[in-house]
C-alpha cells in the first residue's frame, strides 16, 4: 500500500543527496515521498519528480562567507549548531508540522532538531537516520572531535577513556540546545533527551546510511540500528556524463589525480588549489582540479600541460577514472571514493570529516593531512606513496568490492516498509 513518507534534512549536497536517493527508492516501490529541506534545493529535488516542502532555515552552499564559518576546523560545528540551526528550531518546527500533515512516517537527518518534537507532538511514526559513524558518539569507538583531532590517539585505551571524553563533549554543548528545551516546554512536552546526542535517535528505527567498512555496531549504539550501506545519489542520470572537454582530457593520457573539496569546504579552500597545482609539478603527474564556482579557487594564469580545471564533475563518473583522489572527507565524497577502488589523500576540515578520514586511513586506503599542514611538498610526498606503493591500490580494490556489494537504498527502503507495517504505536 502506498505511504506518504516525509524526509527532513538539512545541510550541503552531501546531506541532501542520500535522501534524494532514498526518496527515489521509495517512489519506485510505489510510495509518495516528500523531501523537506532548504528552499535552495527545490528545483534540484523537483526535477526528479519528488514532492518538495520548504523547511527553514534556508541555506545556500554557495555563500562563501557562511561556508567558511561552518567549515572552520575549530568552531565550525559550534557556529552551525549554536548560531545557525538551534536558534531557528521554532521556525523549523512550524514548517515541518505543516509538512507531516497526512504523513504515514517522518524520516529525519541528525541535525533536523525539530523532527523529534514534531513526531512526538503530532503522533507521527518516526525513523531517524545518521550518515556517518561519528553521530553515535560511541565510547567504544571514540569519535575524532574536529577541534581536537589528536585526541583520536586515545582510542586505543578503550571505553574507559572514551566515556569521560564523550561525557565532556556532551557537557560542553549542553547550553547550545536551550532553544529546543524552551520549545518543548512551550509545546507541553517533557524535557526529553539531549537533541544533539541520544535525542536524535528514534526509539523505533535508526538507519545508519553508511557502509559497514566504516563501522560495525558497538555496545553503546541504540539497539534498533540498521546499517544499510551508503545510499548513493550523484544527480540525475542525464547529468552523470562528463563534460566533453573533461572526457577528452581523460582520454588524452594516464589517469590523473583528482583534487576536490566537495560543495562546502570548497568555499573555504584557501590555498588548497595553489598548493595542489604545485604538488603536481613536484610529482610530474596529470591532474584535474574541481574548483567549484568561486573564482578565487581558479589558479591564476595558464595551467601547465597535463593539468585541467573544471567547476564540477560527478564523482561517481570521474573517481573510477582517477589514479588517486584528494578530497575533504565528507561522508558522501568518502563513499564515492571508497566505491571507486582508488587510494586517496583526505584533507579534513570540520564536522564528520576528521573522523571519516581516520577510518579511511585505518582501512589502509588513505593518508591524511590537515588543512593547516597542506603544502605542495607534503602533498607530493603522500601522493607518491599512494601511487607507487601497491598495497594502497590493492586494499582500495578490496574495500571497493565490499562497498559495491551493499544495497544501501534497498536495505533502507525495506527497513522503512517493515516499520510502516508494524502494529506498534506511533513512535
Nearest by Cα to 60 from 19, 133, 105, 10: 10
Give the whole-angstrom CA distance, residue 260 versus residue 70.
18
Q: Give pTM, 2 decimals.
A: 0.94
Q: Count how many Cα atoms sit within 13 Å of the Cα of residue 105 in the half-sphere of its side chain.
A: 26
Phi and psi at residue 203, in whole multiples of 5°?
Answer: -75, -10
Task: Report strand pairing: 287-290 vs 257-260.
Answer: parallel
Task: Report strand pairing: 307-310 vs 366-368.
Answer: unpaired
Q: Are 26 and 41 in contact (CB under 8 A)?
A: no
Running DSSP on this structure, what letter comes out for residue 102?
T
- The H-or-E segment that residue 51 falls in is strand 51-54
What's the pLDDT score for residue 415? 98
What's the pLDDT score for residue 424? 65
Topology of domain 238-404, CATH: Rossmann fold (3.40.50)
Provide CATH code, domain 4-230+407-421.
3.40.50.2000
What's the pLDDT score for residue 61? 77
What's the pLDDT score for residue 301? 77
Apex CA 294: angle with CA 288 and CA 297, to 5°? 45
Domain with CATH 3.40.50.2000 in the chain: 4-230+407-421, 238-404
What's the pLDDT score for residue 63? 79
Q: Are 379 and 259 in contact (CB under 8 A)?
A: no
With a cut of 50, which residues of the chain have pLDDT below it?
426
Q: Are 350 and 312 in contact (CB under 8 A)?
A: no
What CA dihedral angle connects 348, 228, 195 and 171, to 10 degrees?
-50
Nearest by Cα to 329 from 347, 311, 313: 347
What's the pLDDT score for residue 144? 87
What's the pLDDT score for residue 237? 65
What's the pLDDT score for residue 229? 98
What's the pLDDT score for residue 270? 80
* Tens digits of residue pLDDT in 233-267: 988 765 668 899 999 999 999 999 999 998 777 76
Q: Give the residue carrying C-alpha cell 577502488.
A: 341
Amino acid at each position: 500500500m502506498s505511504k506518504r513518507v516525509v524526509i527532513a534534512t538539512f545541510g550541503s549536497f552531501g546531506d541532501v543527496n542520500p535522501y534524494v536517493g532514498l526518496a527515489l527508492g521509495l517512489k519506485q516501490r510505489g510510495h509518495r515521498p516528500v523531501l523537506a529541506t532548504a528552499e535552495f534545493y527545490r528545483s534540484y529535488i523537483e526535477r526528479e519528480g519528488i514532492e518538495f516542502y520548504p523547511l527553514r532555515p534556508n541555506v545556500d552552499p554557495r555563500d562563501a562567507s557562511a561556508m567558511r564559518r561552518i567549515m572552520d576546523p575549530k568552531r565550525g560545528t559550534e557556529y552551525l549548531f549554536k548560531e545557525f540551526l538551534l536558534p531557528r528550531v521554532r521556525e523549523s518546527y512550524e514548517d515541518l508540522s505543516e509538512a507531516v500533515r497526512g504523513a504515514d512516517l517522518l524520516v529525519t537527518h541528525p541535525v533536523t532538531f525539530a523532527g523529534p518534537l514534531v513526531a512526538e507532538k503530532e503522533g507521527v511514526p518516526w525513523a531517524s537516520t545518521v550518515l556517518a559513524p561519528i553521530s553515535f558518539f560511541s565510547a567504544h569507538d571514540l569519535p575524532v572531535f574536529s577541534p581536537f583531532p589528536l585526541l583520536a590517539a586515545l582510542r586505543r585505551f578503550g571505553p574507559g577513556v572514551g566515556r569521560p571524553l564523550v561525557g565532556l563533549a556532551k557537557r560542553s554543548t549542553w547550553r547550545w540546545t536551550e532553544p529546543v528545551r524552551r520549545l518543548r516546554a512551550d509545546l507541553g512536552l517533557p524535557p526529553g533527551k539531549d537533541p544533539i546526542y541520544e535525542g536524535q535517535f528514534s526509539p523505533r528505527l535508526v538507519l545508519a546510511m553508511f557502509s559497514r567498512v566504516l563501522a560495525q555496531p558497538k555496545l553503546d549504539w541504540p539497539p534498533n540500528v540498521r546499517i544499510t550501506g551508503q545510499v548513493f545519489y550523484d544527480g540525475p542520470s542525464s547529468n552523470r556524463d562528463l563534460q566533453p572537454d573533461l572526457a577528452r582530457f581523460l582520454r588524452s593520457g594516464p589517469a590523473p589525480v583528482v583534487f576536490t573539496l566537495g560543495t562546502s569546504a570548497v568555499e573555504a579552500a584557501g590555498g588548497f588549489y595553489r598548493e595542489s597545482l604545485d604538488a603536481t609539478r613536484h610529482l610530474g603527474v596529470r591532474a584535474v582540479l574541481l574548483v567549484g564556482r568561486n573564482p578565487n579557487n581558479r589558479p591564476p594564469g595558464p595551467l601547465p600541460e597535463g593539468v585541467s580545471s573544471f567547476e564540477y564533475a560527478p564523482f561517481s563518473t570521474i573517481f573510477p577514472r582517477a589514479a588517486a583522489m584528494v578530497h575533504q572527507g565528507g561522508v558522501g565524497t568518502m563513499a564515492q571514493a571508497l566505491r571507486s577502488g582508488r587510494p586517496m589523500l583526505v584533507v579534513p576540515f570540520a564536522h564528520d570529516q576528521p573522523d571519516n578520514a581516520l577510518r579511511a586511513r585505518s582501512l589502509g586506503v588513505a593518508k591524511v593531512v590537515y588543512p593547516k599542514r597542506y603544502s605542495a611538498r607534503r602533498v607530493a610526498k603522500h601522493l607518491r606513496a599512494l601511487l607507487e606503493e601497491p598495497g594502497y591500490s590493492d586494499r582500495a580494490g578490496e574495500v571497493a568490492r565490499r562497498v559495491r556489494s551493499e544495497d544501501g537504498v534497498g536495505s533502507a527502503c525495506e527497513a522503512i516498509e517493515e516499520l510502516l507495517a508494524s502494529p506498534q504505536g506511533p513512535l
